[in-house]
Amino acid sequence: MRVGIIGPIGSGKSTLAHLLANYYNVPKVEEPVANSRFLPLFYSDMKKFALVSQNFFYGELFLSMWDTKDEPALVCDSTLFSNLVFADLLKLEGVMNEEEVELTYKIADAHMKLIPDLDIHIVLIRDEDSLFQNVRKRSRDLEEGQYSYLKFHYANYSSVLENIFNRYNVPKQKILYLKVDDMFDQLHFNDLVAQIEQRYQQLTYEQQTLDL
């Protein structure tokens, strides 16, 4: 089972990816953004660094997914759709222009032709207060520009992601929305695993039926 996790900043993508990778004993593809030198540049001047930073993040993620393309099972704490969400949000906010976003999509299209699709796209759902709380837990002091950016990000994330799924004709049965809370709570984590496995079993059955 190859799964990718998508969600707004602070939703717990890395946490769930770590827990699932350990649970299934499979490789984990990590999002390259957190330790990137481009991240502070982006927050210092979004308009100046948006295009180069977004495509750097995208390229690094692609390389990680390319290196693991032959793995029969893995967990990705981000997906190639994730960066497109950020690009579209930056366009809505007036930070990136139409030409820059279309260039990002062209690069995405080229990348997606080279790696296998994921079996399940897991979308994490949290309320806004919980998202901000998680960002602060990671010792990130929110400056005014960052706070405003995150507010806009949270308000528009779901609709932008839905448009991207539609643009790429991602089958709805391959998208699993998970409402998450404390994922270190064993009962809650077990429930998340049960939902993932149920969806994967459904997809496997549907594929077997088509192959008959």
Q: Kindly write down the DSSP assignment for every residue of 63-101, as one continuous string.
A: HHHHHTTT-SSEEESS-HHHHHHHHHHHHHTTSS-HHHH
The model's pTM: 0.89
180-200 pLDDT per residue, tens: 999 999 999 999 999 999 999
140-178 pLDDT per residue, tens: 565 556 778 788 889 999 999 999 999 999 999 999 999
| Residues of the chain below pLDDT 50 | none
Neighbours of 78 (CB within 10 A): 24
Beta-sheet pairing, 74-76 with 28-29 = parallel
Secondary structure of the chain: what % helix, strand, coil (to 5)? Answer: 60, 10, 30
| pLDDT at site 201 | 93
| pLDDT at site 149 | 78
Cα–Cα distance for residue pair 21/44, rounded to 1 Å: 34
Cα–Cα distance for residue pair 198/203, rounded to 1 Å: 9
| pLDDT at site 53 | 87
| pLDDT at site 140 | 55
| pLDDT at site 207 | 79
Cα–Cα distance for residue pair 50/135, rounded to 1 Å: 21
- Yes or no: say if 41 and 49 are a contact pair by the CB < 8 Å rule: yes
